[in-house]
Structure 1
Amino acid sequence: MSDTMSPKAAQALLPALREAIREAASLALPFFRAGAQTTARTWSKAGGSPVTEADVAVDTFLKIRLSALLPEAAWLSEETSDDAIRLGSDLVWIVDPIDGTRAFLTGHQDWSISVALLAGGQPILGFVHAPVTDRFYEAVAGGGATCNGVPLSVSTQTGLTGAKVTGPKPMIDKLARGGSTNGEALDVQIVPRVPSLALRVARVAEGSIDVGLVSSDARDWDLAGADLLLREAGGSVSDLKGTRTTYNRPDPVHGALIAMSNGLRDDVVAALTRG
Structure 2
Amino acid sequence: MTAPPLPIAPDLLPAIRESCIEAGELALALFRPGAKTAAKIWSKTGGSPVTEADIGVDTFLRIRLSVLLPEAAWLSEETVDDALRLSRRFVWVVDPIDGTRAFMSGSPDWAVCVALLDEGRPIAGVVHAPACAATYTALSGGGALLNGAEIKATTRSTIGGAHIAGPKPMLDALARLETFEQAEKIPSLALRLTRIADGTIDAGLVSADARDWDIAAADLILHEAGGRLSTGDGQDVVYNRETPVHGMLVASGAALSTPLLSALQHMRDSQPQRI
SS in structure 1 at match of 2:132: coil
SS in structure 1 at match of 2:213: helix
- In 2, the alpha carbon distance for the partners of 1:136 and 1:93 equals 18
Look up the equivalent residue of 1:120 and give its one-letter code. Answer: E
Instruction: Write out per-residue CA displacement over residues 213-271 of structure 1, whole angstroms, 9 at most, x where no aligned residue.
Output: 11111100000000000111111111111111110000011111111111011100111
Q: Which residue of 2 aligns with 1:163?
A: 162
Matched, 1:3 2:38: no
Moved more, 8-17 or 86-95: 8-17
- In 2, the alpha carbon distance for the partners of 1:28 and 1:265 equals 35
Residue 64 and residue 5 in structure 1: after superposition, are their counterparts in 2 closer, same or farther (change >3 A)? Answer: farther
Structure 1 position 174, deviation (Å): 2.3
Q: Which residue of 2 aligns with 1:152?
A: 151
User: How do 1:1-275 residues align onto structure 2 when only pairs under 5 Å count?
Assistant: 3=3, 6=6, 8-177=7-176, 180=177, 186-275=178-267
- In 1, the alpha carbon distance for the partners of 2:10 and 2:3 equals 15
- In 2, the alpha carbon distance for the partners of 1:241 and 1:17 equals 32
Look up the equivalent residue of 1:243 and give its one-letter code. Answer: Q
Count of residues in Structure 1 that have an aligned counterpart in Structure 2 = 266
Q: Which residue of 1 aligns with 2:271?
A: none
Structure 1 position 9, deviation (Å): 2.3
Structure 1 position 134, deviation (Å): 1.2
Structure 1 position 5, deviation (Å): 5.3
- In 2, the alpha carbon distance for the partners of 1:137 and 1:198 equals 10
SS in structure 1 at match of 2:197: helix
SS in structure 2 at match of 1:269: helix
Q: Which runs of 5+ in 2 are unaligned?
A: 268-275
Structure 1 position 169, deviation (Å): 1.1
Q: Is 1:99–1:222's contact at 8 Å kept on the other side of the alignment?
A: yes
Structure 1 position 173, deviation (Å): 2.0
Look up the equivalent residue of 1:27 and give its one-letter code. Answer: L
Structure 1 position 175, deviation (Å): 2.0
**Displaced runs of 4 or more, over 4 A:** none
Q: Under a length normalisation based on structure 2, what TM-score does the superposition of the two structures give?
A: 0.94
Q: Is 1:4–1:90's contact at 8 Å kept on the other side of the alignment?
A: no
- In 2, the alpha carbon distance for the partners of 1:212 and 1:265 equals 10
Look up the equivalent residue of 1:267 and give its one-letter code. Answer: P
Aligned Cα root-mean-square deviation (Å): 1.1
Q: Is 2:151–2:197's contact at 8 Å kept on the other side of the alignment?
A: yes
Q: Which runs of 5+ in 1 are unaligned?
A: 181-185
- In 1, the alpha carbon distance for the partners of 2:236 and 2:60 equals 31
Instruction: Write out per-residue CA displacement over residues 130-166 of structure 1, whole angstroms, 9 at most, x where no aligned residue.
Output: 0001100000000000001111111121210000001
Structure 1 position 4, deviation (Å): 5.7
Q: Is 1:176–1:271's contact at 8 Å kept on the other side of the alignment?
A: no
Q: Under a length normalisation based on structure 1, what TM-score does the superposition of the two structures give?
A: 0.94
